[in-house]
Amino acid sequence: MNDILRFLSDALKSGDDAAFIRIVGHRGSTPRTAGARMVITRSGRVCGTIGGGMVDGAAHQGAAEAFETGRSFLMNLDLSTGDAASAGMICGGEIAFLCEYIPSDDIEARRFFEQVEASVETSGDKHRKQLLYTEFNASEDSWTTCRRHLIDSSKPLDCAFPDAPLLQNSFPAAEAVNGSALVAAGKRAYCLDVMEMRQPLFIFGAGHVAKEVSDLALRVGFQSIVLDDREEFANEMRFPPPAALVHLDFFENCMQALSIDENSYVVIVTRGHLHDRIVLAQALKTQARYIGMIGSKRKRDSIYAALRQDGFTDRDIERVHSPIGVPIKTETPEEIAVSIVAELIDVRAKKYE
């Protein structure tokens, strides 16, 4: 979501009208679900996808209509029709998506999305969830944007805030999802877009596998933080921003200054058996959502036996994903990274089940 909003803000600043499209409802089998988003500009630039193929084609048609009419609207797409089958899509479900027209000469909109972008970039709390509310005057064939609000879901709304009870009551549902939805109130409708900061991925070790894991994890929405005691490996030439680097003096007590909580992911790919054991023992004392350690089953069992001698229980050790990654045949660092990041994505997705 953050990349989409950054793209949208840049498009408006450059004088390019935009159609902000998001799936707000789905039924049955569909390529993407509520929360898939994309932006299409009048000049033809695109960021994101709501499903590819026929679905993205419908989005492009909707954007063209929005640019021609200057209107926003809600569209429904039936994937069970003959047209869908002839296009090779046999999903059979239905999608509702909102196509919001945002002209670049709307100064208020430009300022709002610049503020949203700044809020995302400067957030000190990487885990907080924000809610983007867009308020519309809604009719059957045309929606007019009235107001936009960016709200921190962890804070109560001021009672003077427009429609505060309605919006406040939707917060519990927003906390349980990661997507977009519509809330109707008479002739008004609100599009609720749930935005989360990138979830932190702490990568212990800065070798070849760590390099590939960091690069791929950044592409799929994690924030990579790479930690190692070797400056020749943990440097910006190998791990350029937006990856973050922490140079350690040693791996002992290396987590004391880190904020690792239930939204955090830990990948242990250090250069040796001893360092892996030292880091894993510390990771098991955190509330990390995911802890993964690279290595063979023989190495894993040896480390587990040592941890049990140190007082860790079977329940503690059951938290560890090792050998790390989904079980596919891998050999190169790039292939291993695909396996590891696939497992990270799976664990992240299960948070919303």
Of 34-43, 131-140, 216-225, the least confident: 131-140
- Quote the longest CA-to-CA distance of the chain: 71
- Per-residue pLDDT, 183: 76
- Specify the DSSP class assigned to residue 353: -
> How much is the average pLDDT of 85-109?
77
d(CA 255, CA 285): 10
- Per-residue pLDDT, 172: 54
pTM above 0.95, yes or no: no
Name the band, by pLDDT with cuts 50, 70 and 90, for residue 33: confident
Q: Are 63 and 40 in contact (CB under 8 A)?
A: yes
Of 66-75, 114-123, 268-277, 311-320, the least confident: 114-123
Please provide the DSSP assignment of 121-179 as one string: HH-S-TT-EEEEEEEEEE-SS-EEEEEEEEEETTSPPPTTSTTHHHHHHTHHHHHT--S
Average pLDDT, the chain: 84
The encoded tokens of residue 253 equal 């007590």
Q: Are 114 and 122 in contact (CB under 8 A)?
A: no
- Per-residue pLDDT, 124: 44
Tell me the per-residue pLDDT of 207-225, one tens digit each, with 9 for 90 and over. 999 999 999 999 888 999 9
Task: Give all domains of the chain, ordered by start, each with its CATH number.
Answer: 2-102 (no CATH), 107-196 (no CATH), 199-350 (3.40.50.720)
Q: Is 70 exceeded by the pLDDT of residue 126?
A: no
Q: Are 306 and 278 in contact (CB under 8 A)?
A: no
d(CA 133, CA 194): 9
Q: 72: which residues sit within 8 A by CB, 6+ positions away?
A: 66, 98, 99, 100, 101, 136, 142, 143, 144, 145
Q: 50: which residues sit within 8 A by CB, 6+ positions away?
A: 21, 22, 23, 32, 36, 37, 38, 56, 59, 95, 97
What is the separation, in whole angstroms, between the first and last Cα of the chain? 19
CB-based burial of residue 166 (10 Å sphere; 0-12 exposed, 13-18 middle, 19+ buried)? middle
Name the band, by pLDDT with cuts 50, 70 and 90, for residue 90: very low
Q: Is 70 exceeded by the pLDDT of residue 52?
A: yes
- Per-residue pLDDT, 121: 56
Q: 299: which residues sit within 8 A by CB, 6+ positions away?
A: 273, 276
Residue bearing the bigger pLDDT, 222 or 158: 222
- Per-residue pLDDT, 319: 96
Q: State how beta strands 94-102 and 180-185 pair.
A: unpaired
- Per-residue pLDDT, 85: 40
d(CA 128, CA 154): 8
d(CA 157, CA 256): 35
Tell me the per-residue pLDDT of 282-299, one tens digit each, with 9 for 90 and over. 999 999 999 999 988 999
Q: Are 92 and 80 in contact (CB under 8 A)?
A: yes
Tally the C-alpha atoms within 13 A of residue 196's C-alpha that lie toward its C-beta: 19
Q: Is 80 exceeded by the pLDDT of residue 264?
A: yes
Length of the chain: 353
